Structure 1
Amino acid sequence: MSEIAAAADPGPGPADHDASALALGARIRALRKRRGLTLTQAASDADLSHSFLSQVERGHERLSMASLFRIARALGTTQQALLTDEPEGVPSGGFHVYRATSDSPVDAGSGSGAVTVLAQQRARFLPMIFSGSFEDDGLWWQHDEEEFVYVLEGEIVIVLEDEEVTLARGDAAYYGGGSRHKWRTAPGETCQVLVVKEQQHHT
Structure 2
Amino acid sequence: MSDAASSRRSASGPGAAEDDGAASAARALGARIRALRKSRGMTLTQVAAQAELSHSFLSQVERGLERMSMTSLFRVAQALGTTQQALLTDDAEAAPRSPGAFHVFRAREATPLDAGGSPVRVLARDHPRFVPMVMSGTFTDDLWWVHDEEEFVYVLEGTMVVSLDGEEFALEPGDAVYYPGGIRHRWRTGAGETVRVLTVKEGKAGAV
Normalised-by-shorter TM-score class: 0.7 to 0.9
**Contact 2:112-2:119 within 8 A present in 1 as well:** no
1:198 paired with 2:202, answer: yes
Name the structure 1 match of 2:3. Answer: 12
**1:150 Cα deviation (Å)?**
0.5
- Please point out which of 26, 29, 39 is paired with 2:34: 29
SS in 1 for 2:81: coil
For normalisation by structure 1, the TM-score amounts to 0.87
1:47 paired with 2:52, answer: yes
Query: What is the letter of the counterpart of residue 173 of structure 2?
Result: R
Task: Give the whole-Å Cα distance in 2 for the aligned partners of 1:37 and 1:117.
Answer: 27
Matches within 5 A, 1:165-184: 165-184=169-188
Task: Give the whole-Å Cα distance in 1 for the aligned partners of 2:25 and 2:157.
Answer: 25
Structure 2, unaligned runs of 5 or more: 9-22
Query: What is the letter of the counterpart of residue 73 of structure 2?
Result: L
**Contact 1:80-1:126 within 8 A present in 2 as well:** yes
1:161 paired with 2:152, answer: no
**Contact 1:113-1:134 within 8 A present in 2 as well:** no
SS in 1 for 2:86: helix
Structure 1 stretch 170-179 or stretch 32-41: which is displaced more? 32-41
Task: Give the whole-Å Cα distance in 2 for the aligned partners of 1:112 and 1:71.
Answer: 19
SS in 1 for 2:183: coil
Name the structure 1 match of 2:139. Answer: 134
Task: Give the whole-Å Cα distance in 1 for the aligned partners of 2:87 and 2:207.
Answer: 12
Task: Give the whole-Å Cα distance in 1 for the aligned partners of 2:50 and 2:137.
Answer: 30
Matches within 5 A, 1:71-90: 71-86=76-91, 88-90=95-97
Structure 1 stretch 172-181 or stretch 89-98: which is displaced more? 89-98
Query: What is the letter of the counterpart of residue 96 of structure 2?
Result: G
**1:201 Cα deviation (Å)?**
4.9
Task: Give the whole-Å Cα distance in 2 for the aligned partners of 1:68 and 1:201.
Answer: 15
Name the structure 2 match of 1:150. Answer: 154
- Please point out which of 95, 102, 114 is paired with 1:107: 114
Name the structure 2 match of 1:38. Answer: 43
Going by fraction, where is helix more abundant, 1 or 2? Answer: 2
**1:102 Cα deviation (Å)?**
5.8
Name the structure 1 match of 2:190. Answer: 186
Name the structure 2 match of 1:6. Answer: none
**1:44 Cα deviation (Å)?**
2.0
Task: Give the whole-Å Cα distance in 1 for the aligned partners of 2:138 and 2:161.
Answer: 11
RMSD: 1.7
For normalisation by structure 2, the TM-score amounts to 0.85
SS in 1 for 2:159: strand
Task: Give the whole-Å Cα distance in 1 for the aligned partners of 2:133 and 2:152.
Answer: 10
Name the structure 1 match of 2:12. Answer: none
